[in-house]
């Protein structure tokens, strides 16, 4: 059995984790909103129609922000359709997903839901059919206190206090020809710049995300990102990137998807740094990875002109969960540049939470690694020295064991996340913790199993879930553990309050 040696030094710091790295996404798509978070008449529905069982699971994930309302839906969305008396709201054709949008939930209701779910909102403005003025109106409606048309309309609609939404996406995937009113990079860059100016004039406390490339596979990548940033660099705070992965038939390559995500992040960072140099700027542009997940796009089948159809409802296996864990490790290991990341999406649509209409809500397999990084990944990411076997993949050479280490000084806890991508063999791991005072293993879980394709179902909702393992205490500051084949692992150590030697 090959050995992975990991040396961890408290002074080898990468970055403090921004809690927004553990955010998610709700789009008006399929059953994400209707029959997802909102189902009046359900036994678990509250007085507003929101499912309390779903809210409890969202709280358990400790999601700090939820991006809303899209997504491709955003580029044709009239936000004013979703405010005011429900019986006066129009039903509209959603051209993005060929469905009918009843507009029973809009920004007012979603704000109420977010407070109940213990999360915030990452807002988004329409850069397809929408104008810079429309974006400013929405921001004024949400954030301006009172005394203007839009702020007083919010108050008339039942919300006296402003929403205080401080993070906003300027459009969605505008590089994609599939996008309603797709623009080229220069035209989008100019429109986004003028939108940003209006929005920050209304509320200079907000942060803005410009649309970067919707995938690293786009023929315009990374030229799109360069051109957009040349137009917007002085007016926005983040450039976005989106990436989804699916099993294309080679499970070893699929398990190594984290290597491609890492390369994508570094390329976007390098592109942003080029524009920084070009503009002689002192500002470093950070990244918002505001769509990421496993998504089986080859299986998409849309159903014409239904309300809340069952579409994009991938059922995630143990194999998929391991890949999600590996992608989470890449996000943590790039926390110096990636400050926001949104698992897309949150409920039913390619999501960790899955519901039955009128019935139960269950945790998909992918729920578990996402929850692990959200709950235990807060603190400072360290840069360990890792020596271990690699293998050749379609992404290039990739380590068999992906590793991230987070040190939480407030809790005096050190967390090691490790995903063994070798399906056939376990891996011995030797952790060198001698630079920490009195390390003591306090927690260890493993997500693994003999069948990588097993899923959680309503009949068997616990088929895939982590199991606790025996604790192995360090000897002389060194700990030896064995990772099972194809496994997701969380190992936590308490260290003395005095910190490092």
Q: Kindly list the domain boundaries of the chain, sorted by start residue.
A: 3-11+381-494, 18-376
Percent helix, percent strand, percent coil in the chain, to nearest 5: 30, 25, 45
The one catalytic residue in 27, 109, 140, 173 is: 173
Is residue 291 among the annotated active site residues? yes
Alpha carbons 321 and 373: distance in angstroms, whole number = 12
Whether 153 and 146 have beta carbons less than 8 Å apart is answered as no
Distance CA 182, CA 446 (A): 44
> For 3-11+381-494, which CATH superfamily applies?
Golgi alpha-mannosidase II (2.60.40.1180)
Per-residue pLDDT of the chain (501 residues; tens, 9 = 90+): 689 999 999 999 999 999 999 999 999 999 999 999 999 999 999 999 999 999 999 999 999 999 999 999 999 999 999 999 999 999 999 999 999 999 999 999 999 999 999 999 999 999 999 999 999 999 999 999 999 999 999 999 999 999 999 999 999 999 999 999 999 999 999 999 999 999 999 999 999 999 999 999 999 999 999 999 999 999 999 999 999 999 999 999 999 999 999 999 999 999 999 999 999 999 999 999 999 999 999 989 898 999 999 999 999 999 999 999 999 999 999 999 999 999 999 999 999 999 999 999 999 999 999 999 999 999 999 999 999 999 999 999 999 999 999 999 999 999 999 999 999 999 999 999 999 999 999 999 999 999 999 999 999 999 999 999 999 999 999 999 999 999 999 999 999 865 444
| DSSP structure string for 100-129 | EE---S-HHHHHHHHHHTT-EEEEEE--SS
Whole-number Å distance between alpha carbons of 426 and 410: 33
Are 3-11+381-494 and 18-376 the same fold in CATH?
Answer: no
pLDDT for res 498: 59
Contact 203, 139 (CB under 8 A): yes
CA angle 222, 223, 227 (to 5 degrees): 125
Q: What is the three-class DSSP state of 452?
A: coil
Q: How far is CA 59 from the centre of its chain?
A: 15
What's the pLDDT score for residue 500? Answer: 43
DSSP-assigned letters across all residues of 7-74: E--TT-EEEEPPGGGGEEE--SSTTSTBTTTB-TTSTTB-TTSBBHHHHHHHHHHT-SEEE-S-SGGG
* CA 21 – CA 30 distance, rounded (Å): 25
Choosing from 27, 39, 291, 400, the catalytic residue is 291
Confidence (pLDDT) at 501? 44
Tell me, what's the pLDDT at 499? 44
Query: Which option is the CATH number for 18-376: 3.40.50.1100, 3.20.20.80, 3.30.110.40, 3.40.50.300?
Result: 3.20.20.80
Instruction: Please state, in angstroms and rounded to a whole number, the distance separating the CA atoms of residues 359 and 355.
Output: 7
- Supply the Cα-derived Rg of the chain in whole angstroms: 23
Residue 182 tokens read as 């797709």
Torsion of CA 262, 266, 268, 273, to 10 degrees: 160
């Amino acid at each position: 059995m090959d050995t992975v040696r990991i040396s961890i030094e408290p002074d080898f710091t990468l970055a403090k984790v921004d809690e927004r790295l553990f955010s998610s996404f709700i789009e008006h798509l399929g059953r994400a909103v209707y029959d997802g978070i909102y189902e009046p008449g359900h036994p678990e529905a509250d007085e507003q129609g929101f499912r309390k069982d779903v809210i409890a699971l969202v709280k358990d994930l400790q999601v700090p922000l939820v991006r809303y309302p899209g997504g491709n839906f955003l580029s044709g969305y009239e936000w004013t359709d979703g405010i005011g008396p429900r019986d006066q709201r129009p039903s509209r054709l959603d051209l993005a997903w060929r469905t009918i949008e009843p507009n029973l939930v809009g920004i007012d209701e979603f704000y109420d839901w977010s407070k109940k779910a213990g999360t915030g909102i990452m807002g988004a403005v329409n850069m397809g059919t929408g104008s810079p003025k429309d974006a400013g109106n929405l921001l004024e409606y949400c954030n301006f206190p009172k005394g203007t048309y839009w702020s007083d309309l919010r108050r008339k609609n039942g919300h006296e206090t402003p929403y205080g939404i401080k993070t906003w996406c300027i459009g969605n995937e505008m590089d994609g020809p599939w996008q309603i009113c797709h623009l080229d990079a220069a035209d989008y860059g100019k429109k986004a710049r003028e939108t940003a100016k209006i929005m920050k004039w209304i509320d200079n406390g907000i942060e803005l995300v410009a649309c970067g490339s919707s995938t690293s596979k786009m023929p315009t990548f990374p030229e799109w990102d360069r051109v957009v940033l040349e137009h917007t660099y002085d007016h926005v705070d983040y450039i976005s990137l989106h990436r989804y992965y699916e099993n294309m038939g080679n499970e070893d390559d699929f398990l190594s998807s984290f290597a491609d995500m890492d390369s994508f992040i570094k390329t976007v960072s390098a592109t942003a740094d080029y524009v920084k140099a070009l503009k002689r700027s002192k500002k470093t542009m950070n990244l918002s990875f505001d769509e990421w997940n496993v998504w089986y796009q080859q299986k998409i089948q849309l159903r014409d002109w239904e309300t809340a159809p069952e579409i994009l409802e991938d059922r995630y296996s143990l194999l998929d969960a391991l890949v999600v864990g590996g992608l989470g490790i890449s996000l943590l290991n790039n926390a110096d540049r990636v400050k926001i990341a949104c698992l897309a999406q949150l409920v039913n649509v390619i999501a960790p939470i899955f519901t039955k209409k009128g019935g139960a809500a269950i945790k998909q397999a992918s729920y578990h690694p996402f929850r692990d990084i959200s709950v235990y990944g807060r603190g400072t990411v360290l840069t360990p020295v890792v020596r271990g076997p690699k293998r050749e993949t379609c992404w290039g050479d990739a380590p068999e064991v992906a590793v991230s280490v987070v040190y939480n000084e407030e809790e005096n806890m050190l967390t090691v996340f490790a995903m063994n991508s070798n399906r056939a063999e376990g891996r011995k791991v030797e952790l060198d913790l001698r630079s920490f005072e009195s390390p003591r293993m306090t927690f260890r879980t493993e997500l693994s199993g003999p069948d990588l394709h097993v899923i959680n179902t309503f009949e068997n909702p616990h088929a895939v879930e982590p199991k606790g393992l025996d604790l192995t205490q360090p000897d002389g500051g060194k700990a030896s553990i064995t990772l099972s084949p194809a496994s997701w692992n969380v190992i936590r150590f308490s260290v003395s309050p005095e910190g490092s030697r």
